[in-house]
């Protein structure tokens, strides 16, 4: 077939046939047909099955699987099979294993235990990649290459000697001379100055706080080192298997913080990602929707693949919650609404043994005679009806800035408050706007912001000069801007921008803060004035005064009495807001309602009721409303057109049942 499935939303998942006797494979194919599966990812952890001894390539079993899939019309996203090194490689080259911050070389018997900087690993991995590409390039079932798996999930940061050497080479490239490095790292502090390159090491365990510049650069280096591993495999695939798209599955979840996906995305033929819901979060679905928008931002606004999510419980949380009936469909449509053109699951059949045997699958332990498999089939059927959405883009008038480097800065040592965690405020802002049916893009500070009426800048701690210029130019061109506390504090090298906080945005916002006053967990400070009158700040406060801005809200008690909590500077039609404290959900929603209204941001559909998440995609085949009803009761959606879910006409409004979904082709 040689092409990715078209005319529908892709549907499938990871398939690990080597865990099952071949008799099961036939049942798998039959069930995949029943579930209308269009693709599977195969071979991700098959290195030891494909190359049981060094150089012995034994693909026979996989040939059989590929043929079965091809015959059934199921496309294969074929792995390079390099995600987890086999035991023989680990035994022959113990130096490829990851070393932790204390110097322990980690043991095999798990997965992904290979060092990001290991050229030995690269050599073995690209050799297998070459064999795979040579062997399967012409196979009709092959539709895409899946390089490795979830880079960095467990193997970064590594602190071994290969990483030390790689880090030094990377630093020499970046800084040229040691003087520049010493300046960037501020090594005059604590007698840390380097006079020889070879004295530089990874930020291993130290008696107390390490150097923040070294830590920040090490995060940059590790992300780049893993990217180089990806590129090494991709180059082989491009050479041996030209024309077949190549991807690796990202992990755009707020708790995964090791890779700068904005740097990775340009190397992907299509951006794919995995997303798993973390039940301990205050609102797990808010994080899901945020991450879907972030993935689209990483993908430059283009459609993307959801390579993995789960049909129900995962296995790695303290208490692994099952999904409620219908939840998998709602989660899937939330991703589709925000730009996913493919829905993949880990994994097709729940494992019988191993550390992931309690991870749900499309076929559960109970077998196909189960409510879960029924729901999988319903979702599969639904994806065949959503073809018109494929390739369309997502409407958004608001952008939230996101930067992995700012996150890394906020992971540094010895900051003012451990209660300020990167992403918390961003997700909460996103959630407040989604509740108003305002769709957000989540984008990099250097991206083109001209399409947005409002730019939100939550806790963007570290910001480069170029990003400051980009944001300023966007505001000067008429966009509104809302910046939160602890944004623009340090430059690209994690140096304080002096003269008063927030140094990067002082002029833009017309404020100047003399001192931070972080609050204790649970502590509040009263506010007075305007739309926040009677509400309270929390987590953070600061000695803030307006210079050229208007003060809209003041602190109402304590040492900050009369200082500025919320300011606005109007410049020729553009409003630049500054929020110097944190707010609870209600107050944040009130603020964002005012800020979006003032910016002329309009909801996706007017009067959309609470609990109904609505997003609009727009493409060659028209515009589409994707609606997910998170409530237990029916909700009215104002729309006219045709509901692809129920295949019925919609005139004026549509009732979305409690827990249900709708996709209305408008017009």
**Binding to its own copies in span 8-27, by CB under 8 A:** 16, 18-19
| Span interacting with its own copies, options 134-142, 344-352, 399-407, 477-485, rule CB under 8 A | 344-352
Please confirm, yes or no, whether 308 is among the known catalytic residues: yes
Among 26, 33, 205, 255, binds its own copies (CB under 8 A): 205
Distance CA(558)–CA(541), nearest Å, equals 11
Residue with smaller CB distance to its own copies, 3 or 196: 196
List the x/- string, 469-498, binding to its own copies by CB under 8 A: ------------------------xxxx-x
Among 37, 519, 579, 583, binds its own copies (CB under 8 A): 519
Residue with smaller CB distance to its own copies, 187 or 383: 187
Residue with smaller CB distance to its own copies, 266 or 499: 499
Number of C-beta neighbours around residue 197 at 10 A: 14
Give residues with Cβ within 8 angstroms of 369, minimum separation 6.
none
Contact 571, 530 (CB under 8 A): no
Number of C-beta neighbours around residue 529 at 10 A: 16
Give residues with Cβ within 8 angstroms of 199, minimum separation 6.
none
- Which residues, 291 to 320, sit near its own copies by CB under 8 A? 312-313, 315-316, 318-320
Distance CA(340)–CA(353), nearest Å, equals 31
| Span interacting with its own copies, options 140-148, 185-193, 239-247, 611-619, rule CB under 8 A | 185-193
Among 25, 57, 175, 358, binds its own copies (CB under 8 A): 358
Smallest distance, its own copies to C-beta of residue 554, A: 16
- Which residues, 550 to 609, sit near its own copies by CB under 8 A? 559
Distance CA(364)–CA(355), nearest Å, equals 16
**β-strand 536-538 against 246-247: which pairing, if any?**
unpaired
Angle at 404 between CA 398 and CA 405, to 5 degrees: 115
Report if residue 165 touches its own copies, rule: CB under 8 A. Answer: no
Among 71, 177, 179, 189, binds its own copies (CB under 8 A): 189
Beta-bridge mates of residue 513: 501, 544
- Which residues, 71 to 90, sit near its own copies by CB under 8 A? 81, 83-88, 90
Catalytic residue (choose from 51, 233, 308, 542):
308
Report if residue 499 touches its own copies, rule: CB under 8 A. Answer: yes
Among 38, 112, 273, 484, binds its own copies (CB under 8 A): 112
Q: How buried is residue 499: exposed, middle or buried, by Cβ count under 10 Å (0-12/13-18/19+)?
A: exposed
Report if residue 543 touches its own copies, rule: CB under 8 A. Answer: yes
Report if residue 171 touches its own copies, rule: CB under 8 A. Answer: no
Classified as helix, coil or strand, 426 is: helix
Smallest distance, its own copies to C-beta of residue 499, A: 6
**β-strand 641-643 against 398-401: which pairing, if any?**
unpaired
- Which residues, 603 to 662, sit near its own copies by CB under 8 A? none
- Which residues, 384 to 423, sit near its own copies by CB under 8 A? 413-419
Distance CA(369)–CA(346), nearest Å, equals 19
Alpha helices in 5-137 (DSSP H): 22-34, 47-50, 60-71, 87-92, 119-136
Radius of gyration of the chain (CA): 26
| Span interacting with its own copies, options 106-114, 292-300, 440-448, 460-468, rule CB under 8 A | 106-114
Please confirm, yes or no, whether 150 is among the known catalytic residues: yes
294: closest CA among 453, 430, 421? 430
Among 42, 98, 160, 382, binds its own copies (CB under 8 A): 98
Q: Which residues are catalytic?
A: 150, 308
């Amino acid at each position: 077939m040689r092409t990715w499935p078209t005319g529908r939303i892709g549907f499938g998942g990871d398939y690990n046939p080597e865990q099952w006797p071949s008799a099961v494979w036939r049942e798998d194919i039959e069930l995949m047909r029943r579930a209308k599966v269009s693709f599977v990812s195969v071979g991700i952890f098959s290195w030891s099955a494909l190359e049981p001894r060094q150089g012995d390539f034994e693909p026979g079993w996989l040939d059989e699987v590929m043929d079965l899939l091809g015959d059934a019309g199921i496309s294969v996203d074929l792995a390079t099979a390099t995600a987890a090194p086999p035991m023989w490689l680990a035994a022959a080259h113990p130096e490829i294993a990851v070393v932790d911050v204390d110097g322990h070389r980690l043991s095999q018997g798990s997965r992904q235990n290979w060092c990001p900087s290991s050229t030995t690993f690269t050599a073995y991995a690209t050799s297998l990649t070459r064999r795979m590409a040579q062997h399967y390039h012409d196979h009709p079932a092959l539709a895409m290459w899946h390089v490795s798996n979830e880079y960095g999930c467990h193997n970064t940061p590594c602190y071994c000697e290969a990483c030390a050497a790689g880090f030094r080479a990377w630093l020499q490239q970046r800084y040229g001379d040691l003087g520049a490095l010493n300046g960037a790292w501020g090594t005059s502090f604590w007698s840390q100055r380097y006079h020889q390159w070879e004295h530089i090491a990874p930020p291993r365990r130290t008696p107390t706080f390490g150097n923040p510049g070294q830590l920040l650069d090490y995060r940059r280096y590790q992300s780049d080192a893993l990217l180089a591993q990806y590129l090494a495999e991709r180059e082989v695939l491009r050479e041996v298997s030209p024309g077949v798209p190549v991807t690796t599955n990202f992990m755009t979840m707020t708790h995964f913080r090791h890779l700068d996906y904005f740097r990775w995305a340009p190397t992907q033929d299509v951006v794919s990602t995995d997303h798993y819901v973390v039940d301990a979060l205050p609102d797990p679905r808010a994080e899901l929707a945020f991450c879907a928008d972030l993935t689209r931002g990483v993908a430059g606004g283009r459609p993307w693949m959801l390579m993995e999510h789960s049909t129900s419980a995962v296995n790695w949380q303290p208490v692994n919650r099952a999904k409620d009936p219908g939840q998998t469909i709602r989660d899937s449509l939330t991703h589709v609404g925000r730009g996913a053109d493919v829905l993949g699951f880990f994994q097709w059949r729940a494992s019988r043994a191993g550390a992931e045997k309690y991870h749900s699958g499309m076929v559960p332990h109970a077998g196909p005679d189960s409510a879960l498999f029924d729901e999988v089939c319903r979702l599969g059927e639904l994806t065949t009806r959503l073809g018109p959405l494929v390739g369309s883009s997502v409407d958004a008038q608001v952008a939230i800035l996101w930067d992995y480097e700012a996150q890394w800065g906020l992971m540094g040592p010895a900051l003012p408050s451990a209660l300020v965690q990167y992403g918390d405020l961003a997700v909460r802002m996103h959630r407040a706007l989604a509740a108003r049916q305002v769709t957000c893009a989540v984008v990099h500070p250097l991206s083109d912001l001209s399409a947005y009426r409002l730019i939100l800048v939550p806790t963007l701690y570290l910001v480069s000069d170029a990003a400051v210029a980009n944001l300023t130019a966007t505001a000067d061109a008429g966009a509104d801007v809302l910046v939160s506390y602890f944004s623009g504090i340090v430059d690209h090298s994690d140096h304080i921008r002096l003269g008063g906080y927030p140094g990067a945005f002082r002029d833009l916002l017309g404020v100047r803060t003399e001192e931070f006053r972080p609050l204790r967990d649970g502590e509040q400070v009263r506010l007075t004035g305007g739309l926040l009158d009677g509400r309270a700040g929390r987590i953070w406060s600061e000695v803030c005064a307006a210079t050229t801005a208007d003060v809209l809200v003041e602190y109402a008690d304590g040492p900050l009495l009369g200082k500025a909590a919320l300011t606005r500077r109007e410049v020729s039609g553009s409003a630049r807001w500054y929020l110097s404290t944190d707010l609870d959900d209600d107050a944040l929603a009130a603020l964002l309602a005012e800020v979006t209204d003032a910016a002329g941001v309009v909801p996706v559909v007017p009067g959309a009721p609470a609990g109904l998440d609505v997003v609009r995609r727009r493409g060659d085949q028209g515009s589409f409303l994707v609606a997910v009803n998170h409530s237990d009761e029916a909700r009215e959606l104002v729309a006219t057109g045709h509901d692809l879910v129920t295949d019925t006409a919609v005139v004026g409004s549509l009732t979305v049942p409690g827990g249900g979904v709708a996709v209305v082709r408008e017009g």
